[in-house]
Structure 1
Amino acid sequence: MTSFETIRLIHTVLNLYYIEKMKQAEIAECLSLSLAKVNRLLQQAVDLGYIEFVIRTPFQNLFTLEERLKAIFGLQEAIVVPEIGGTSNLLLNSIGTAAATFLLEHLRDGDTLAITPGTTVQAVVRSIEAARPYNVVVVPILGSVQGEIESDMNYLATQMGERLGGKAYQLHAPAFADTQEAAEMLRSMEPVKKILEIGRNATVALLGIGTVDPQASRFVQFTALSAEEMKNIAEGCGGVGEISAHVYNIDGQPCAKDYADRVIGLSLKEIHKIPYRIGVAGSAAKALPIYGALKGGYLHALITDETAALGVLEIFDGKFHNHKN
């Protein structure tokens, strides 16, 4: 048991070190102690629980969300940007900037970067400001969707390649075919097979996470899928989100197989084999799709916003509570 005299001495040393900001050598001289003795007393204070460290940095709540996401879903990295009022473009730019910085920190010369379409991926591409050329290859892992040229799959791949100073491939095929037979024929074409094989050998993937909500999904706008078909995917098949046009349920399991068979691109199983996968998505509407993607283990890293992160954790807490009951 630590004596009263020792505790008093420890208290004196702690005050001089942490409050008065004295150096250990100065404390030793002031109290006629050896430097080693002061060091031991400080360590003893830690061991006995006399010191409580509290970190109060700005945005501490966001860092706490990041740690929870990593702990619950086994992520290697999570970045949560602050909630931003105003237009959705402000949110996209915020996530895009954070994701672009993260991507540049993790890319290495010789990497093959697989990318999917989407407005958030587009925001990442716009935010890339490489300080040096990267000797990388950029490859799309999904065919093109009709719509604005800025969000076209091949345009995004080309722009990403140019901004990184690397090389970009293009996949000249639609994202969806009218029938399974047509999709199989397209996937068997040599130029398409070549690009998809490059995608399978990618080392890093930048993945947009989409919703299957008929009111919000961009695939309703740019494909032959009707709002009724999207409703069936969500309600009839239990779909909650999509990565590279492949739909999964709340547990991250692939679903809507008839729909998936019409996709010209890598499957979820093939995407899962890419060594490092970065997911980007934000807003309250993306909470459920992100949750499903995390449950499916499709991501090593997630860059999102505060609203989506809170939504994901709320879903987890709700399911955990129901499971306990």
Structure 2
Amino acid sequence: MLDHNLDFETARQMHTVLVLHFLEGMKQSEIAQRLNLSHSKVNRLIAQGRRLGMVRIDIETPYQRLMELEAALVQATSLSSAVITPTVSANAETNLQQVGKAAASVILENVRDGDVIAITGGKAVSATVDNLVADRSFDVTVVPLTGGVQGKFYTDVNNLASRLAERLGGRALMVHAPLFAESRAQCEMLKEMSSVREVFDLARAANLALTGIGSIEPSGSSYYDLNPVPEEDRKMMVGLGVSAEFMAHLILEGGSLANYELNSRLVAVAPSEISGCRTVIGVASGPHKVRPIQTVLNGKYLDSLILDEGTVNAVLTEMERSKNVA
């Protein structure tokens, strides 16, 4: 607030200095020379003008709408942060790559030497790894959150972990076990193997966790690339209220784990077990991910979420519709 006891001459001089510095972009030394003032006097006038509220800085960005969407998503959920990328194309792959690039930047902003990074498989995680270019090497360890699935490039979490570690200049540890065991007993046995247990223990306490968000609707799902499921079982899962795959686990619409046989055979860290991670980052893109994203948000599994503009608009619209119905 402006001090009314400030004498007119000092106020006029302060105003002149502030205009020259903030509006005309002059350096303090240039202002001192023009007004025949000492450099320290110019510095004091600027500092005093700030304290008196004479300086207001407005930042305009062409992406203001994205910032507003980020704030709206955080306000509507338990997230601590969100990053929204512009939807630049009708091509789903192009938008996915944009989201992956943003997620790669978030990883680089948050990673520290000595960190453990835990990751899942998935197309969005693969896009993140593809777009990560570090300016320096980081002393990090990258570990999988799940057992492995051979086949498509994005289902092989061990390969993704290795690629991410290579791009960061760190090392990767592998889980030498399948994602799905043949029985619950075999699953427990595999998870108790020292080589698997040690990796999963690191994953549970990771500094950063990077996860995809999967759909189980047949039209857009890559869950069935992990484990082939008969068509009648797919319909039954939807009928039971399963609406997302997260860390290879089937999740009910309210956010809890589904009591479904496949979940009991998963060689993987459970979603509830990553609550101790410093930051859990979710990444997703596409209209078929709207319901799964809501489901994962209902479970409060994430600290940060990275989406494209079209997807987040659909998520927020659906949240508002659900609120009005309730």
Q: TM-score range by the shorter chain?
A: 0.7 to 0.9
**Counterpart in the other structure of 2:253:** 250
Pick which of 184-193 and 280-289 moved more.
184-193
**Counterpart in the other structure of 2:4:** none
TM-score by length of 2: 0.81
| Residues 60-116 of structure 1: per-residue CA shift (max 9 Å, x gap) | 211111000111113222110011224322112111111101101100011100000
Tell me if the contact between 1:173 and 1:264 (Cα under 8 Å) persists in the aligned partners: yes
1:228 offset after TM fit, Å?
2.6
1:56 offset after TM fit, Å?
5.0
Secondary structure, aligned partner of 2:74: helix
**Counterpart in the other structure of 1:6:** none
Q: 1:150 to 1:252 in 2, by over 3 A?
A: closer
Within 1, Cα distance between the matches of 2:297 and 2:258?
16
Within 2, Cα distance between the matches of 1:60 and 1:275?
28
**Counterpart in the other structure of 1:65:** 69
**1:314 pairs with 2:321:** no
1:54 offset after TM fit, Å?
7.8
Tell me if the contact between 1:139 and 1:170 (Cα under 8 Å) persists in the aligned partners: yes
1:262 offset after TM fit, Å?
1.1
Q: Which amino acid aligns with 2:249?
A: H
**Counterpart in the other structure of 1:295:** 298
In the alignment, which of 120, 126, 149 is matched to residue 122 of structure 1? 126
RMSD of the TM alignment (CA)? 3.2
Q: 1:80 to 1:188 in 2, by over 3 A?
A: same
Tell me if the contact between 1:233 and 1:256 (Cα under 8 Å) persists in the aligned partners: no
Q: Which amino acid aligns with 2:317?
A: E
Q: 1:56 to 1:261 in 2, by over 3 A?
A: same
Within 2, Cα distance between the matches of 1:83 and 1:227?
33
The runs of 4+ residues in structure 1 deviating greater than 4 Å are 53-56
TM-score by length of 1: 0.81
In the alignment, which of 212, 216, 223 is matched to residue 219 of structure 1? 223
**Structure 2 residue ranges without an equivalent (≥5):** 1-15, 36-44
**Counterpart in the other structure of 2:185:** 181
Within 2, Cα distance between the matches of 1:296 and 1:119?
22
Across the two proteins, how many residue pairs are aligned to each other?
Answer: 300
**Structure 1 residue ranges without an equivalent (≥5):** 1-15, 30-34
**1:271 pairs with 2:274:** yes
**1:81 pairs with 2:95:** no
Secondary structure, aligned partner of 1:248: strand
**1:108 pairs with 2:122:** no
1:176 offset after TM fit, Å?
1.3
Q: What is the percentage of aligned positions where both structures have the same residue?
A: 34
Q: 1:150 to 1:217 in 2, by over 3 A?
A: closer
Within 1, Cα distance between the matches of 2:67 and 2:100?
18
Q: Which amino acid aligns with 1:182?
A: Q
Secondary structure, aligned partner of 1:241: strand
Tell me if the contact between 2:272 and 2:301 (Cα under 8 Å) persists in the aligned partners: no
